[in-house]
Amino acid sequence: MRLVLVGPPGAGKGTQAQFLASHYSIPHISTGDIFRANLKQGTPLGVEAKGFMDRGELVPDSVTNEMVRDRLTHDDLGNGFLLDGFPRNVAQAQVLRAILSEKNTPLDAVLELAVESAEIVLRLSGRRVCRDCGKGAHIEFERPAKDGICDSCQGELYQREDDKEEVISRRLEVYQEQTAPIVDFYRIEGLLITISATGSVADITERAIKALNRAHQ
């Protein structure tokens, strides 16, 4: 199974990626992991990326594309892969298509996790993190015994800056501007499978596996 996972911030891509990768016995490839590996190993691409990051600039697509191209040459991809966080725009989707075409290993599917914006704001804005031990909580779904106090260590629970409503709204705007167009790109390619990403984690995983298996019987 060669799979790309797409969906807005807060759709649960990271969680579902782990379960789906395990189910299909394929590596979960996230752009974050690729960046960290290149930076840690001090590869030429990692050094180039670090230069942009140190200047507070976004790492350009050209560098990200080359990191992904390199990762897709590794020998652990016999059963396929699950890409999470790439592509982020149509230009990257076209590059990925070209890379896989060269290897004669086209994508099998692109799974979109669909969630209403209001649900995403509720999920993300309700998250809290302990200042002392780092454990997470949620004011709606995982309420602490005492408001604002961590159940594990009694430390103070706080809201991260990127979980504030105005920041979430901006992240969703960026997603709509930059990443949502790849949904149409893959729909035209005949690769898109869309499922609802609301409900329990287990229900969403089961829904995803059924949809993927049905599409590739």
Evaluate whether residue 142 is within a structural domain.
no
DSSP the chain: -EEEEE--TTS-HHHHHHHHHHHHT--EEEHHHHHHHHHHHT-HHHHHHHHHHHTTPPPPHHHHHHHHHHHTTSTT-TT-EEEES---SHHHHHHHHHHHHHTT---SEEEEEE--HHHHHHHHHTEEEETTT--EEETTTB--SBTTB-TTT-PBEE--GGGSHHHHHHHHHHIIIIITHHHHHHHHHT-EEEEE--S-HHHHHHHHHHHHHHHT-
185 assigned to some structural domain: yes
Catalytic residue among 69, 88, 97, 135: 88
Decide if 125 is inside a domain: no
Q: Is-contact 170 9, C-beta < 8 A?
A: no
> Residue 217 has what pLDDT?
67
88 is catalytic: yes
Respond yes or no: is residue 127 known to be catalytic: yes
Q: Select which of 13, 71, 123, 128 is catalytic.
A: 13
Q: Within a domain: residue 10?
A: yes
Q: Report yes or no on 179 lying in a domain.
A: yes
Q: Which domain holds residue 202?
A: 2-27+76-116+173-215
Phi, psi of 177 (to 5 degrees): -70, -45
Number of domains in the chain: 1
For strand 28-30 and strand 136-138, is the pairing parallel, antiparallel, or unpaired? unpaired
Catalytic residue among 160, 164, 170, 210: 160
pLDDT of residue 32: 83
Residue 60 lies in a domain: no
The pTM of the full predicted model, rounded to 2 decimals, is: 0.85
The catalytic position among 2, 71, 123, 127 is 127
Other C-beta atoms within 10 Å of 204: how many?
Answer: 21
pLDDT score, position 162 = 84
Residue 201 in tokens: 């984690």
Q: Which residue has the tokens 């394929």?
A: 26
**Domain containing residue 195: CATH number:** 3.40.50.300
Catalytic residue check, 160: yes
Position 165 in a domain: no
Q: Which two tokens stand for residue 122?
A: 């509720």
| Regions of the chain where pLDDT drops below 50 | none
**pLDDT confidence of residue 185:** 96
161, part of any domain: no
Overall size of the chain counted in residues: 217
Active site residue 13: yes
Tens digits of residue pLDDT in 186-214: 999 999 999 999 988 999 999 999 999 98
Q: Side by side, which strands form the sheet with 136-138?
A: 136-138, 127-130, 157-158
